[in-house]
Structure 1
Amino acid sequence: MSKKKLIQHTSEHFEKMFQHPPQTIFLSPGRINIIGEHIDYNDGFVLPAAINKYVCLAFSVKETSECTIIAKDLNSEVKFDIHENVVPHKKMWVNYIFGVLHQLKIRQFPLKGFNVVFSSSIPIGAGLSSSAAVECGFAYALNTMFDLGLSKKEMALIGQKSEHTFVGVNCGIMDQFASVFGKKNKAIKLDCTTLAYEYHNADFKKYSLLLLDSNVKHTHLTSGYNVRRHEVEQGITLLKKHFTEVKTFRNCTEAMVDALRSELGETIYKRCHFVVKEIQRVQDAVQAMEASDFKKLGTLMSETHEGLSKEYEVSCDEIDFLVDAVQNEKTVLGARMMGGGFGGCSINLVEKGSEDAIIERISKLYRNQFGIELKPYKIKISKGTSRYKK
């Protein structure tokens, strides 16, 4: 669905439900991560960007303390009084919003009643952070309408805290940060430890980004994630013991990891080797984008997938198939798994104009192999959460 159509549908539904048009419209984007996977918790950097898939919020302030929030896509609503204590709700979608409200209330911000209708063009379950877009869009809307004076960083942290406390997902900061801080044709090099960040050119000129959604999510994502964290923690502990100059993976070299291969054991060696290489790949990717060296960027993306699949072992047959299937395409510069792993999307750097042919060919191969329909998403890098101006 186009941005224009999303805004129109959300606004019309608001008017239908409340018999007047909304005061204001807000748009909050989903996100991709160009490179830098599984290193946010290993003192590395990530390289996310906001994309042109949005949560749209139609919003009006009321003079009373009554609040109504309508999730148009789910045909569901919740009503409450703004002065009531906010507690986790049995409807999961409500908790993304109640978590934000709770964070604002414990900061004792003065709030009044409001009506909201929201709808989304961000596909659910594709790893594009629709939940962060809801949290950040709602925080941004309340901050604007009630003049709360929150910074972008504070809104991102409120979104993250909301997910930790009301949704029960111990997520990192990347998703919320990218949603709020996104800029058109810019990627954000983000240090997830310090929240230091810088923008880098992500105008791909005659190339574009294409997402291929495998339509699978294997159940061992959470357990696999926890095991990987434990493995790399064991690895860095041993590396620090042998090399006093090592404080984090960021100042660890490939040579150091190689020197301890037998002591680390093959599994932990592979995990640590991936982390050290991926931290460097993010730096190299930034340089490649700034130099408009997209062939280099594509090569780095493919190298990342190889590491995620063979060394970090967080891929799966379906995603490996999607990445392998495009490797010999002349119009594809690089491809990799995106996100936590064990399903989700592959992200592909392709020549503009070649997308439909790639989608047609890969969809057929994928259907024949797994009996699953592929979902393709053509995306552009967009600005972050904002108030819509006609």
Structure 2
Amino acid sequence: MQEQLISDTSQAFRSVFHSEPERIFLAPGRINIIGEHVDYSDGFVLPAAIDKYICFAVKKTVDSDICTFYAKDFNDSFSFKVNEKQVPVAQMWVNYVLGVFNAVQESGKSIGGLQIAFGSTIPMGSGLSSSAALECGFAYILNELFNLGFNKKELAVIGQKAEHTFVGVKCGIMDQFSSVFGKEHQVIMLDCNSLDHQYFEANVDGYSFVLFDSCVKHTHLTSGYNDRRRDVDNGKKVLWERFPDVQKFRDFSFEMLDEVRSEIGEISYKRCMYLLKEIKRVEEAAKALSEGNAEYLGKLLNETHSGLSTEFEVSCNELDFMVEETRKENGVLGARMMGGGFGGCSINLIKNENVEDVIAAVAARYKAAFDIEMKVYRVKISDGINEYTRNEILI
């Protein structure tokens, strides 16, 4: 699939620009093994880059101040002058790259003209972070071709800034960080505040991570997210008033939370309880992965889904059904919803020999219950953004 993507993207470049691309870059999507909604509460997340990519075919244009993009999957083009100030435009995909250019421009760096064609195997709207791959892929390309001198953390922050400023989504840093810092066969335990991180081997021999896409996205994601933030902030405020010496939210104990339960109310109590438990689950999951304890990792995934569904209340009927039916099948160690909630994908840890049977059984029951064709994405943990050398480009 990767070779086909490179071949197709290179051919698209030739068709549009009537010349050969000089360099090829791959920017991956990501999964998050565990750690949902903890990134804004001093928690850890456990993402990994995956073998679904945006491929960029690139050529520098001599004596030109124009950067031209061709989006193969949309059959759409956009050009801008690199010595002019840019503003957001109507084409949504364009704003991701313009936001990156704007962040580079504001840093005082300058770039020259480029021709870029790109295509993707990251499913759009599936929660696998195609947007972060586009942002960070472009930032990485500019850094490489024009020797801008940014380090990896700075590239991830540029991608995040692009989304904040030009797209209008106040996302965390996890998606961009995963795309830049990913390593094959390893997960990243990331502190989203400090950006401190460490790698753990993803030892799940005999098992695979398989994603089931519910193909639904309920409209209350944004409003629900904001409501949860408010519920959590209410709990945090009272906790810090009662225990001012605690430095980070993750350092509050369950006993401390119990002490303020009546004051913050049941809803804030449930939200904060989920977060404190989830932060601990991330640390335990990293240890389970590194020790090859797939059974315990599966148990943690199940606990996370239960917490997201009943304590944080960001699941939905379709996801709950899909996860519940998946867990009934032989060879399934764990299943949970992945991402912000109210739709999207589940991530499932399944014994290799049972994968086909589980897919068939769950897809059939999901179709019968909701009349929706479930999509399936098989993923492997892969390297972050990287370049393919010229002799590897497929003609």
Deviates more, 1:105-114 or 1:282-291: 105-114
Check conservation: 1:86, 1:102, Cα contact below 8 A: yes
Q: Give, in whole Å, the separation in 2 of the partners of 1:370 and 1:264.
A: 38
Measured against aligned partners, the alpha-carbon deviations of 1:67-110 in whole angstroms (never above 9, x if no partner) come to: 21100100100122222221111111100000111111122223
- 1:29 maps to which residue? 28
Count of equivalent residues: 389
Aligned residue for 1:76? 76
User: How far off is 1:329 after superposition?
Assistant: 1.9
Q: TM-score, structure 1 length as denominator?
A: 0.98
Moved >4 Å (runs of 4+): none
Q: Which amino acid aligns with 1:341?
A: G
Q: CA deviation at 1:248?
A: 2.7
Structure 2: which 5+ runs fail to align?
A: none
* Aligned residue type for 1:22: P
CA RMSD of aligned residues (A): 1.0
Equivalents in 2 of 1:341, 1:317: separation in Å? 11
The question of whether the paired residues in 2 share the 8 Å contact of 1:34 and 1:49 is answered with: yes
For the 8 Å contact 2:209–2:350, the answer to whether it is kept is: yes
Tell me how far 1:17 sits from its aligned partner: 1.3
Residues 43-192 of structure 1: matches in 2 within 5 Å? Answer: 43-63=42-62, 64-192=64-192
- Is structure 2 residue 246 aligned with structure 1 residue 243? no
Structure 2 CA distance for aligned equivalents of residues 92 and 341 of structure 1: 22
> Could you tell me how far apart the structure 2 residues matched to 1:91 and 1:259 are?
51
328-337 vs 46-55, which moves further: 328-337
Structure 2 residue matching 1:330: 3-state secondary structure: coil
Q: Which residue is 2:374 aligned to?
A: 374
Structure 1 residue 193: deviation in Å?
A: 0.7
CA distance in 2, matches of 1:65, 1:87: 17
Quote how far apart the aligned CAs of 1:128 are: 0.4
* TM-score after normalising by structure 2: 0.97
Kindly indicate whether residue 260 of structure 2 is the aligned counterpart of residue 260 of structure 1.
yes
1:103-127 alpha-carbon deviations (Å, 9 max, x no partner): 1112222311110000110001110
CA contact (8 A) 2:204 2:293 kept: no
Do 1:88 and 1:166's aligned partners in 2 also have CA atoms closer than 8 Å? Answer: yes
Deviations 1:15-44 (A, max 9, x none): 111121100000000001000100000110
Per-residue CA deviations over 1:247-269 (Å, capped at 9, x if unaligned) read 33211111222233222221111
Residue aligned with 1:28, SS: strand
Distance 1:245 1:39 in 2: 21
Listed one character per residue, the Cα deviations across residues 171-226 of structure 1 (whole Å, up to 9, x for unaligned) are 11000000000000110000001010100111321111000000000000000000
Any conservation in 1 of the 2:330–2:354 contact (CA below 8 Å)? no
Deviations 1:279-319 (A, max 9, x none): 11011111111111110000001000000000000000000
Structure-2 residue corresponding to 1:297: 297
Whether the aligned pair in 2 keeps the contact of 1:189 and 1:197 (CA below 8 Å) is yes
Q: Which residue of 1 aligns with 2:330?
A: 330
Partner of residue 10, structure 1: 9
Distance 1:126 1:4 in 2: 22
The whole-number CA distance in structure 2 between the counterparts of 1:328 and 1:14 is 47
Who is 2:270 aligned against?
A: 270
Are the aligned partners of 2:25 and 2:57 in contact in 1 as well (CA < 8 Å)? Answer: yes
**Structure 1 unaligned residues grouped into runs of 5+:** none
Question: 1:191–1:197: 8 Å Cα contact kept in structure 2?
Answer: yes
Q: Is the 8 A contact 1:249 1:275 kept in 2?
A: no
Note if contact 2:127-2:339 (Cα within 8 Å) is conserved in structure 1. yes
Comparing 12-21 with 53-62, greater Cα deviation is found at 12-21
Matches within 5 A, 1:195-206: 195-206=195-206
**Aligned-partner Cα distance in 1 for 2:25–2:2:** 11
Contact 2:6 2:55 in 1 (8 A): yes
